[in-house]
A and B are shown apart, each in its own frame.
Chain A
């Protein structure tokens, strides 16, 4: 019984909450519409205090690149996974370097620090 309790404490003792996004190295492929390239990303939300994640696409110098997706801010309920397509113009496809997701935090009471998490995948070029 004690062993069982210890295992349960090890499993659930930490109230860790996580944010993850895959793939690490996405590839842009021609979309079904001429002049557009797309890739598919998947996010998983294990942060109970976070419900919304904003996505952004950047150059290697962190300049924002215009893109189209269903939403810029995705609602991802706790313990759910969302897959989404992002589309960029074909002339931008060689500039796209980072695809990032950032947690959007709600105002909360009390003097505290809140942790904003950000994960960036990288579109690699030949030779990188």
Chain B
């Protein structure tokens, strides 16, 4: 004959086993879809090395924007990064602005398979096209320089220019 304490013990064991059984049968479902993720690691800042130049290079007091692109499906995307060729917002300017810009691969998560990104890129105007042939993360840096014509000084105010990063499925 079982006493009261033994009965409770057995009940707890059975309850525990049932709970363990229930935990084993609780599924967590998820679907991982292939994707391209564009991340802004660092927004750029223009330095003002002289009155008529705005530049994102570090030596000019600026900071270039850094864009990270994560890809989870190899050879499924192109990446187009376009350096600015106009201000999206600026004060009224007294002369024409000359633009220069370039994008380069800053670093990568898989140097074996991504090592050819920089040499294999296609440059068209301000746009650099990269063929994202490997999965993983790649960091891109875009430099931009704006020079006001006639060496005239940029008027005081806020200046913003857009770098466009486009991930396009192949």
Known: A20-B35, A24-B36, A24-B73. A114 touches B165 (CB 8 A): no
Complex Cα–Cα for A58 and B89 (A): 27
With a 10 A CB-CB cut-off, give which of B36, B45, B70, B76 has the most chain A CB atoms.
B36
Complex Cα–Cα for A46 and B144 (A): 25
* CB atoms of B41 and A14 under 8 A apart: yes
* CB atoms of B169 and A17 under 8 A apart: no
* CB atoms of A19 and B38 under 8 A apart: yes
User: How big is chain B's contact interface, by range?
Assistant: 35 or more
* CB atoms of B161 and A119 under 8 A apart: no
Measured CB to CB, the nearest residue on chain B to A16 is B39
Give the number of A-B contacts (CB < 8 Å). 124
* CB atoms of B159 and A111 under 8 A apart: yes
Judged by DSSP, the binding face of B is strand
* CB atoms of B46 and A111 under 8 A apart: yes
Complex Cα–Cα for A113 and B36 (A): 22
Complex Cα–Cα for A115 and B152 (A): 27
B164 in the interface (beta carbon within 8 A): yes
* CB atoms of B68 and A118 under 8 A apart: no
User: Which residue of B38, B163, B170 is within 8 Å of A119 (Cβ)?
Assistant: B38
* CB atoms of A113 and B167 under 8 A apart: no
Provide the residues of chain A in CB contact with B76, threshold 8 Å.
Answer: 24
Provide the residues of chain A in CB contact with B45, threshold 8 Å.
Answer: 110-113
* CB atoms of B56 and A107 under 8 A apart: no
With a 10 A CB-CB cut-off, give which of A113, A115, A120 has the most chain B CB atoms.
A113
Could you mark each residue 67-103 of chain B with 1 if its beta carbon is under 8 Å from any beta carbon of chain A, else 0? 1101001001100000010001100000000000000
Complex Cα–Cα for A67 and B169 (A): 20
A98 in the interface (beta carbon within 8 A): yes
Supplied contacts A118-B38, A120-B167, 7 more A-B pairs, CB within 8 Å: A15-B41, A22-B35, A23-B33, A98-B169, A114-B160, A115-B38, A120-B168
- A selection of 13 A-B contacts at a CB cut-off of 8 Å is A18-B40, A23-B34, A47-B40, A107-B160, A110-B158, A111-B160, A112-B46, A112-B159, A113-B46, A113-B161, A114-B161, A120-B167, A121-B169
